[in-house]
A and B are shown apart, each in its own frame.
Chain A
Amino acid sequence: MQNHPVYTDNDPQNENSTLNLGPTHPATHGVFQNVLQLDGERIVSGVSTIGYIHRAFEKIAEHRPFYQITPLTDRLNYCSSPINNMGWHMTVEKLLGITTPKRVDYLRVIVMELARISDHIVCNGVLGVDTGAFTGFLYMMEFRESIYEIYEEVCGSRLTTNIGRIGGFERNFNAKAFDKLRKFLVEFPKTLKQFEALFNRNRIFVDRTKDVAAVTAEDALNYSWSGPLLRAAGVDYDVRAMNPYSSYEDFDFEVPVGENGDVYNRFLVRNEEMWQSMRIIEQALVKLEKEPTDIFHADVPEFYLPPKEEVYNNMEALIYHFKIVMGEIPTPTTEVYHSVEGANGELGFYLVNDGGRSPYRLHFRRPSFINYQMYAPMSRGMLLSDAIINMSSLNVIAGELDA
């Protein structure tokens, strides 16, 4: 990447114009500020300012019991909160040595893959909007709604889901959830196919995205990129395949890989991941048929809150309820790093525990934060309009960026 001198505004030699892209710009889809130096329409240099919605989650987490940290993880990548929730539950389960039944794993896989699809729907749909094609976005958005309805059946909420508990789910999937899921699996492929027909070989779209913001695999690794962005650059690193969690090793799926990491490749990789996610969900549904239908959490009474009616009528449940809520159950003093494949890349949880009710230190390895740091350097020499679509294909989610 070439180096240009960075001028300040009142520098008499500065012949560039300064443009504040953000913090609230309709094309940035979130709270990001980039102060760009423009030579005509070309970007000479840029400085990213982040942290506009920093909420100190890592600090708050040090003061909360484990199960109360799940709602914080919702608000990281709020386009796919179930993945964050599950990632956090699995981190705690790893710490506590809880093994979950297969049925729980498969249900989790279903929810996580739905979350991945909903995230990619938004990203690819919005990429279409930013290149001037609104139609595809509207077609696809309908199915994000279908996914949110499935979440509603499973956990009661839609965007910030707080789905599942440490050890499993708070309640079993009901029949309606499976009905809606099956309906989704029948209807979504048709629309996705239509969406691909609208975009993949569309001359205007391809001209706008091909070779825009291309990233070599070396650069992507150097900047610790992960997720669809890294895979679009040609590196087949997927946490699901490399370090399988939640029984991903039982599933047969492919990790799509791009060639040169440009916006078009990222678009194709995300589209293909949606197909693969549906493949995984279909396999999970088949596998679920062989599992007992009444299991939805691990048998760990000391960490899994008992149902309320039992708390009032059963002595043991009352004791466990009290102990869990008051945090009187000893936990191991150790440290654990667990990562899941978030919709944007490797979402890691580094948890240092001192045996108390809340973490001694919790650090989120947030893929958006790490992916976004290449944005300003890679924008140099780029057209302003290309920088806009580059940002939307990076799919930086402000909540995950700022934690």
Chain B
Amino acid sequence: MGKITNEELLSSINSKFEGKITVTGEPFGLLTIETGTDSIIELLGYLKNDPTFQFIYLTDITAVHYPEQEKAIGIIYHLHSLVNNVRIRIKVFIDGVACHIPTATVLWQGANWMERETYDFFGVIFDGHPDLRRILNVDDMTAFPMRKEFPLEDPNRVDKKDYFFGR
């Protein structure tokens, strides 16, 4: 099967999701599109089930925090079509305070832990997730540590203060 180009992929998605997606670029040949919380599951389902594309493989779900943006949290999905050997990256930007996004576990069981990890580190609530608990951090932790405002070290620590080193 011939390789599907990003243009073909994009025009098909565009015709199906008119006005709901924006293209943010093609860094290193990986088509990157952006969509909203309303259409993300529909879009993922379309890419997964479409007989020509068959993005059956969910590579990764993660998030990035941009505190200066109005929509502060970006959820990043990486999909891979094993048949065509094409990858695609999908981004959804959501509000940093009330961060809600529908779950992708309806499409892939494997999304379960990836979403739990994203919740654990960024506080993103995946609506409809069967078991949205913390995964790597302790259950009674209150902060979401991968957010930019969370300091890397305990701010009360004094042994690394500059004045001890004459700086």
Binding site for B on A (CB under 8 A): 50-51, 54, 56, 58-60, 62-63, 94, 219, 221-225, 235, 237, 242-243, 334-337, 339, 346, 348, 350, 352, 360-361, 363, 365, 369-370, 373-374, 377, 402-403
> Min CB distance, B50 to chain A, in Å?
16
CA distance A60 to B151 in the complex (A): 10
CA distance A371 to B48 in the complex (A): 20
- 8 Å CB contact of B108 from A51, A222, A403: A222
* CB-nearest residue of chain B to A346: B59
In the complex the two chains form, is B57's CB within 8 Å of A224's CB?
yes
Known: A59-B145, A373-B113, A402-B136. A350 touches B76 (CB 8 A): yes
In the complex the two chains form, is B136's CB within 8 Å of A370's CB?
no
Known: A51-B137, A63-B152. A350 touches B58 (CB 8 A): no
* Complex contacts, A222 vs chain B, CB 8 Å: 108-110
Which of B113, B114, B138 has the most A CB atoms < 10 Å from its CB?
A: B113
Binding site for A on B (CB under 8 A): 27-28, 30, 32, 56-60, 62, 64-65, 76, 78, 82, 85, 87, 89, 108-110, 112-114, 117, 121, 135-138, 145-146, 150, 152
> Min CB distance, B97 to chain A, in Å?
20
* Complex contacts, B85 vs chain A, CB 8 Å: 242-243
Known: A58-B146, A59-B145, A235-B82. A348 touches B113 (CB 8 A): no
CA distance A224 to B60 in the complex (A): 9
In the complex the two chains form, is A59's CB within 8 Å of B108's CB?
no
In the complex the two chains form, is B60's CB within 8 Å of A365's CB?
yes
In the complex the two chains form, is B78's CB within 8 Å of A54's CB?
no
In the complex the two chains form, is A361's CB within 8 Å of B64's CB?
yes
In the complex the two chains form, is A59's CB within 8 Å of B136's CB?
no
> Min CB distance, B103 to chain A, in Å?
15
Known A337-B89, A373-B113; further 4 A-B contacts with Cβ < 8 A = A221-B57, A221-B82, A350-B78, A377-B109
* Complex contacts, B110 vs chain A, CB 8 Å: 222-225, 370, 373
In the complex the two chains form, is B113's CB within 8 Å of A370's CB?
yes
CA distance A360 to B112 in the complex (A): 25
* Complex contacts, B112 vs chain A, CB 8 Å: 373
In the complex the two chains form, is B137's CB within 8 Å of A336's CB?
no
Instruction: Across the A-B interface, give the 4 residue pairs with the lowest CB-CB distance, nearest first.
Output: A224-B110, A51-B136, A373-B113, A223-B110
In the complex the two chains form, is A223's CB within 8 Å of B109's CB?
yes
> Min CB distance, B4 to chain A, in Å?
14
In the complex the two chains form, is A54's CB within 8 Å of B108's CB?
no
* CB-nearest residue of chain B to A239: B80
* Complex contacts, B121 vs chain A, CB 8 Å: 58
* Complex contacts, A56 vs chain B, CB 8 Å: 145
CA distance A235 to B82 in the complex (A): 10
In the complex the two chains form, is B27's CB within 8 Å of A335's CB?
yes
* CB-nearest residue of chain B to A53: B136
In the complex the two chains form, is A363's CB within 8 Å of B82's CB?
no
* Complex contacts, B109 vs chain A, CB 8 Å: 219, 222-223, 373-374, 377
* CB-nearest residue of chain B to A51: B136
> Min CB distance, B145 to chain A, in Å?
6
* CB-nearest residue of chain B to A403: B136
> Min CB distance, A95 to chain B, in Å?
8
In the complex the two chains form, is B78's CB within 8 Å of A337's CB?
yes
CA distance A58 to B108 in the complex (A): 25
In the complex the two chains form, is A348's CB within 8 Å of B60's CB?
yes
In the complex the two chains form, is A224's CB within 8 Å of B58's CB?
yes
* Complex contacts, A369 vs chain B, CB 8 Å: 113, 117
In the complex the two chains form, is B59's CB within 8 Å of A224's CB?
yes
Which of A54, A59, A224 has the most B CB atoms < 10 Å from its CB?
A: A224
* Complex contacts, A337 vs chain B, CB 8 Å: 28, 30, 78, 87, 89
* CB-nearest residue of chain B to A63: B152
> Min CB distance, B110 to chain A, in Å?
3
CA distance A369 to B117 in the complex (A): 10
> Min CB distance, B48 to chain A, in Å?
10
CA distance A346 to B80 in the complex (A): 12
> Min CB distance, A344 to chain B, in Å?
15
Known: A56-B145, A348-B60. A370 touches B78 (CB 8 A): no
Question: What are 22 residue pairs bridging A and B, where the CB atoms are less than 8 Å apart in the complex?
Answer: A51-B136, A58-B146, A59-B145, A59-B150, A223-B108, A224-B57, A235-B82, A334-B27, A335-B27, A336-B27, A337-B30, A337-B89, A339-B59, A348-B60, A348-B78, A350-B76, A352-B64, A361-B65, A370-B114, A373-B109, A373-B110, A402-B136
In the complex the two chains form, is B135's CB within 8 Å of A51's CB?
yes
In the complex the two chains form, is B145's CB within 8 Å of A363's CB?
no
> Min CB distance, B98 to chain A, in Å?
22
> Min CB distance, A103 to chain B, in Å?
24
Known: A224-B57, A243-B85, A373-B112. A363 touches B137 (CB 8 A): no
